[in-house]
Structure 1
Amino acid sequence: MGKWTRRGFIAAGLVGGGVLAVGVGIREGHRAPKLAAMMTEEGETLVNVWVKLAPDNTITAIVPHSEMGQGVFTSMAQMLADEMDADWQTVSFEQAPAHEAYANYPLGRDYILGDTKVPGFVQDTLNGGFLRIAQSMGLQITGGSTAVRFTGMGGMRIAGAAAREMIVKAAAKTWDVPARELRTENSYVHHDASGQSVPYASFAERAATYKPPTQPKLKTPDQYTLMGTSVPRFDIPAKTDGTAEFGIDVDLPGMKYAAVIGPPVLGAETVSIDDTYARDMPGVIKVMDQGHFVAVVAEGFWLAENAVRQLDVTWSQTGAEKLNQADVFNLLRTAMDEVGDKGEEDIAVGNVRRATESAARVYEAEYSVPFLAHAAMEPINATAWVREDKIDLWSGLQNPLAVRDEIAGATGVKKANVTVHNVFLGGGFGRRSNPDYPLMAVEIAKAFDHPVKMIWSREQDTQQDWYRPASVSRFKAGLDETGMPVSWDNLFTQKHDPPEASHIPYKIDNQLIHYAHVDHHVRFGPWRSVDHTQHGFFIESFIDELADQAGMDGYAYRRKLVDHAPRYLTVLDAAAKAAGWGRDVPEGHGLGIALVDSFGTVVAQVVEVDVTGPEPKVVHVWCAADPGYAMNPDGFIAQIESGIIYGLTAALYGDITIEDGAVVQSNFHDYPMLRMNEAPDISVEITNSGAKVGGGGEPGTPPIAPALANAVFAATGIRVRSQPIANFKQGLT
């Protein structure tokens, strides 16, 4: 598949990073009146599809994202409210329903068009085209660090600015004065010449009759009043007092509970079930053979789970029963050997072969990473209530519209009769973008006339995941007499998304980046930062090795390679300065550095590690991050810190292994998380460059593993080329 086609396909497939501009209502005329009955209560006015006004002048921002700890309800409302000149104290949010009206398109639009300026006269057509793609694919996804950079910048800001212009137009008509004589502030329209000052709500009904402008005038950063400030998050009070509803909290009258067991070897089907003991256990209602899984429905979850554990299930053979972890990596390396200097190209710049042959010397290294599970705090769950012609589903979902469409397709129930109630997510990390578990809940509930809540045990959650893929990466660099690279040859396995993850930030004239792909039965799913999590480790570890070959420290070496890019230099310098790079560190300590550009945000991290104990301990992480402009600095920092902790867990301990075709790990005893007492001090500095706004949810994750590995080398002289890094503890004492 060619690069343009692949990029277009990815854009079409991911057009729902959770974005939809007010232009959605423009393409088919002004659609707000069509949605008013669904989206408003008595007295409220839907000014456009994203903004509601109540008679008391309160403003509701309708947010098309899922809340999984990233503060998206707040940041989206914040960006909309700023462009509206709204009084923040009167602003609230509402989660958009899983409905075609809230299918999302600016991710695809902005992903493909980038910074291309589009004339106003074609804006409607473009918006309409991308909307059609989003609607046809049922996309309303939260992922890819797209909320602020696409939903906010290309959707909520435009919606807020358009609503303000519509309100001003209505006020001008009402007062019979030119719109240029009016100003807005704190949800009021002011006409200074006459002394009139009237709340937005007074003009809401009239404003809602206007067609929203496609390209309203947006504020410049010097005009922001809310963007760039750390307003408190909307979701924190409910999460603090326990009133926030997560999927696992859903409780409905007459509800029963289901526990499930899937095949040890993914892809197998049931052959036979001995449920002799389980079906007669107290509280058990039914044992269900669904082919690809078995369920027990009971009066309570623990009753159902205990019964599941008593089942004796025989599963079909898939051909993968003899596959072990070593076999997986042998498959990957064999595929690389077979493609050699060929393979599918990501980048081919200059003449790598000629530059390598004429180089003063050549340096090579190979790295690998294992499968990883998501291990969200809240286990997988969904509650379904299936009637003859109506289905309700309650769950925490990263793509609720797609789930609605999948349920309709699987059951034959009309989409309009499938209602998805999307609630808070107790962690997503990409796992909850897959519709497998909602479909399982519906499949179970079809057999009953009451709601059924399906909960996966932690063991099922770990062993039936969609995993971050295991991968191998080989590098060959041609070096000049000073040790600087004149060629860069990188062959890796298992390319997924985003397509630019394997690209390097460094100025090297001759580059060949190519890959081989291997099919096996361990299923792939997006994992926080997706391919950046592998390539960050691969690239930044190899660059550090090249620095050592040149007799330079990693910071100075990187500076020479990014002197063409001020953003990279700024974050490198900021992180190094914060860490006191070059200072003396205690015996057994080391400093390591890494630089990764992902999701539009440039991040540099310095790690101080202590290897004097039985395993490496991260003492401190210094991070500098440039998201272009941090819309909510406190929220952005929290996401960077979260990404660091998540990445450290994977770097130190993450290791899903395959034995006889099955996942070995089952719970936190053998798939551990970073504990509170292991968490390092973290210092984050934001360097707002004014570049195009980037993401915040994932960019903190990719640099942490290589920074740690490079710190281990600085402390021990041992080069870590595979994860988990804690596996090297015997060599570090």
Structure 2
Amino acid sequence: MASLGKIARRTFLIGSAAVAGGVAFGFYAWRKPVDNPLLADLPQGSYTLNPYVIIDGDGVTLITPRSDVGQGAVSIQTHLLAEELDIDPQAVRTDFGPASGAYYNGKVAAEGMPFAAWDESFVSRSGRAASGPAGKFLGLNITGGSTTVPDMYDRLRAAGASARETLKQAAANRFALPRAELLTRNGTVILPDGDEVSYTDLAAEAALLDPVESALRAPEDWKWLGKPFLRTDIVAKSTGTFRYGGDLVLDNMIHATVITNPAMGGGVVSMDDAAARQMRGVEDIVPITDGFAVLADNTWRAMKAARALNIEWGDLDGHPATSDEMWEAHAAAFADDARDSRFADDGDVDNAPGNLFTAEYRAPFLHHAPLEPANATVLHTPEETQVWTATQVPIFVRDAVAAITGQDPEAVKVHNQPSGGSFGHRLDFLWVQQAAEIAVQVTGRPVRLTLSREQDMTHGYLRPMAIARGRGTTDAGQVRSLDLSIAAHSVTESQIGRTGLPAAGPDVAIVAAAWDAPYAIPDRRITGYRVPAGVGVSSWRSVGASHNGFFFETFLDELITQAGADPVEERLRLIHHAPSRNVLATVAEMASWTGPLGDGTGRGVAFTFAFGVPCAQIIEVSDTPAGIKLDKLWIAADVGRVLDPVNLESQLSGGALFGLGHAMHAQITFRDRAIQQNNYHEYEGMRLWQTPEIKVRALETLDTIRGAGEPGLPPAAPALANAIFAATGTRLREMPFSKTVTFA
């Protein structure tokens, strides 16, 4: 990996501009630098050089542009900057920064490209490399795809290193000393005689200098990275003092909630609000797209009044009305005219030798259902509109609000907030648009919109339902061929379409973690079928891999069973990617895999390659009189470089538990074009007593750093399904598994 000092000057560009009172440092590694977004609203008493570090008289503010939805994004970005800046990460302020293309994500676009992360051919490497310029050109200031660490790893460290060395140069100039003789420690420059000069004292002088390039510190010299450390948000979250977007309070704020058509987009036939207007605290009831907003002096009174509205809703003719009809539409998509992709087509699956086996698998719609209800606060004036909300796509939010207010996008200021969960929900922003529609009707007064749990659950964009049909053969104790066809709605078509960006070509998400599974099966074909748009769908934690891991690894396990082979040994034989094989061998060693256990106890194994991370899991279950009990879970994954071992373990185990809970219990169903599950009592996850003992091991053999927020999820469902088969002889081919078995 190139160090900062080795990057050509023409590609390492740091702009410099001085304004009254402080300094900001940043790094930009593309050929043409962008404008510094901090200049537009820089407080008096601050200087800026570029987008990531601000120093003023009160200390240091680090700009951490990737959204924090509970995955620790702010903490790791802070540590990346602080490691090189040489400042205590627990002692700085952080800010998400403005909605700006300067904070583009140079990695996220690669997830939508048909180039397997393990493929090092020239074509694949070139295709993946194009994602950086694509992210910049499109201004993709996006948090998603487990890309925060891969995208920010070099950029933030380089920003911190340049800031540190420029501050040292300012001190060197002031005291007429060579910069090489100066050191830094905890926010100060140390002179040869031991005297210390604070960064805040040097800020104004540093802002007048050309930024100084510096090589990045070697991992063996890291103070925080790579070692267990305390996340910067953990104390506040553990003591109940952490402030989320929904905690925001502004002067003269009015509270709002909305009620919209249960069949999203069906509109309104009539409405009687007489009873609601008489209720205590209600100030107004105003129309919004597809429904109405109730404004009151607090959220509870607004929600109570919303339930008192007497509304006749419109209908959506021509759309499937029930889950059964939607399954029929998916089954009908297995036709040549609905084929979306065939990225993997090796050998001749139609004429492969051996014993034939076929099966069909199903995965239902799922909701994100984060704990913090969707909320947004909007203050609209003729001059500008300010938005406070937790979002993973601040530029899309800015532009969507501008379209509602009729203002120039630059007149819309998005103040990103920490989120109490997302799982992909905050990649959408319907409630922000609703808050903006309300705000333009009460100009000059901040509106805080909070959705009720029922409104949020029944009006979110969902993880697609999907059907997979597998056809394969086994011969001489080995898997010989595998032909998997997957039908699902297109997340790209639905979600990207809502942002206004183009969404042309096949959707990789439909077949993700299936077409690019690193198995050298002689005859292999993976086909994606696009179900015509109907229900709005969205990215759900691990996107297409969330159901395709189940489809592929359960079908493969059934083929291995037919072949009479060992589930671990046959996978090890088939995997052609060395780091992936090492991950699977590691998890087998962790679990002391020896084959069948017997006596009502079973182990299941699954391996997936998602978001560039090979991850393998083994689950041990027991068949008890009370139902299936999850006893133990072993997880191994390779992320290339471990920066925060504590949080990495939490992300991998948390992803697995999230996947297990949904596979066991959760589904979204439709009747009369409306979602039936409206709260957690009808959308159950894993219970504490159902949680298995978990052991995690992270490997570091990949030659590129990867994120861990999503890769722990895809292997969980198939590992559990395979374990239940090993314990009971019952094959599970449809989620949730509770439709077939009982869990203790």
Q: TM-score, normalised by structure 2?
A: 0.85
Asked if structure 2 preserves the Cα contact closer than 8 Å seen for 1:98 and 1:404, the reply is: no
Aligned-CA RMSD value? 3.2
d(CA) in 1 for partners of 2:531, 2:132: 38
d(CA) in 1 for partners of 2:654, 2:48: 36
d(CA) in 2 for partners of 1:230, 1:565: 30
d(CA) in 1 for partners of 2:281, 2:201: 58
The match for 1:636 among 630, 633, 648 is: 648
Tell me what 2:67 maps to: 66
The match for 2:428 among 421, 434, 440 is: 434
Partner SS, residue 505 of structure 1: coil
d(CA) in 1 for partners of 2:67, 2:319: 38
1:133 is aligned to 2:137: yes
CA 1:202–1:63 in 2, change beyond 3 Å: closer, same or farther?
A: same
The match for 1:571 among 559, 576, 583 is: 583
Q: Which has the larger displacement, 283-292 or 646-655?
A: 283-292
Tell me what 1:395 maps to: 389
Tell me what 1:553 maps to: 566
Tell me what 1:532 maps to: 545
Asked if structure 2 preserves the Cα contact closer than 8 Å seen for 1:60 and 1:91, the reply is: no
Deviation at 1:696, TM superposition (A): 1.3
Q: Which has the larger displacement, 95-104 or 305-314?
A: 95-104
d(CA) in 1 for partners of 2:669, 2:240: 37
The match for 2:53 among 51, 54, 75 is: 51
d(CA) in 1 for partners of 2:134, 2:203: 29
Tell me what 2:207 maps to: 208
Tell me what 2:620 maps to: 608
Deviation at 1:424, TM superposition (A): 1.7
d(CA) in 2 for partners of 1:557, 1:126: 36
Deviation at 1:182, TM superposition (A): 5.6
Asked if structure 2 preserves the Cα contact closer than 8 Å seen for 1:272 and 1:314, the reply is: yes
Partner SS, residue 721 of structure 1: coil
Q: Deviations over 1:26-47 (max 9, x none)?
A: 8348x56x835734563x5435
d(CA) in 2 for partners of 1:594, 1:218: 38
Pairs within 5 Å for 1:62-141: 62-84=63-85, 86-88=86-88, 91-100=91-100, 102-107=102-107, 133-135=137-139, 139-141=140-142
Asked if structure 2 preserves the Cα contact closer than 8 Å seen for 1:384 and 1:451, the reply is: yes
d(CA) in 2 for partners of 1:109, 1:379: 28
The match for 2:438 among 423, 444, 453 is: 444
d(CA) in 1 for partners of 2:30, 2:235: 33
The one-letter amino acid paired with 2:532 is D
Asked if structure 1 preserves the Cα contact closer than 8 Å seen for 2:361 and 2:468, the reply is: yes
The one-letter amino acid paired with 1:254 is N
Tell me what 2:146 maps to: 145
1:346 is aligned to 2:342: yes
1:707 is aligned to 2:710: no
d(CA) in 2 for partners of 1:461, 1:68: 17
Asked if structure 2 preserves the Cα contact closer than 8 Å seen for 1:372 and 1:467, the reply is: yes
Pairs within 5 Å for 1:187-266: 187=187, 189=189, 200-201=199-200, 203-212=202-211, 216-266=214-264
Q: Deviations over 1:598-651 (max 9, x none)?
A: 122221111112332444332221111211111111011111122122112211
Tell me what 1:513 maps to: 526
Pairs within 5 Å for 1:715-730: 715-729=727-741
Tell me what 1:159 maps to: 159
The one-letter amino acid paired with 2:146 is S
Pairs within 5 Å for 1:260-659: 260-320=258-318, 323-336=321-334, 338-339=335-336, 343-353=339-349, 356-449=350-443, 450-496=445-491, 499=509, 500-502=512-514, 503-562=516-575, 564-582=576-594, 585=597, 587-659=599-671
Deviation at 1:91, TM superposition (A): 4.7
d(CA) in 2 for partners of 1:725, 1:99: 42
Asked if structure 1 preserves the Cα contact closer than 8 Å seen for 2:109 and 2:132, the reply is: no
Partner SS, residue 225 of structure 1: coil
The gaps in structure 2 that reach 5 residues or longer are 1-24, 123-128, 492-506
The one-letter amino acid paired with 1:494 is H
1:35 is aligned to 2:47: no
The gaps in structure 1 that reach 5 residues or longer are 1-19, 119-124
Partner SS, residue 564 of structure 2: coil
Asked if structure 2 preserves the Cα contact closer than 8 Å seen for 1:494 and 1:515, the reply is: no
Asked if structure 1 preserves the Cα contact closer than 8 Å seen for 2:183 and 2:189, the reply is: yes
CA 1:683–1:234 in 2, change beyond 3 Å: closer, same or farther?
A: same
Tell me what 1:11 maps to: none
CA 1:40–1:639 in 2, change beyond 3 Å: closer, same or farther?
A: farther
CA 1:210–1:299 in 2, change beyond 3 Å: closer, same or farther?
A: same
* Identity across matched positions, percent: 32
Asked if structure 2 preserves the Cα contact closer than 8 Å seen for 1:611 and 1:715, the reply is: yes
CA 1:619–1:280 in 2, change beyond 3 Å: closer, same or farther?
A: same
Asked if structure 2 preserves the Cα contact closer than 8 Å seen for 1:609 and 1:616, the reply is: yes
Partner SS, residue 162 of structure 1: helix
CA 1:358–1:444 in 2, change beyond 3 Å: closer, same or farther?
A: closer
Deviation at 1:228, TM superposition (A): 0.5
d(CA) in 1 for partners of 2:130, 2:568: 44
Asked if structure 2 preserves the Cα contact closer than 8 Å seen for 1:26 and 1:212, the reply is: no
Partner SS, residue 721 of structure 2: helix
Partner SS, residue 46 of structure 1: coil
Deviation at 1:357, TM superposition (A): 1.2
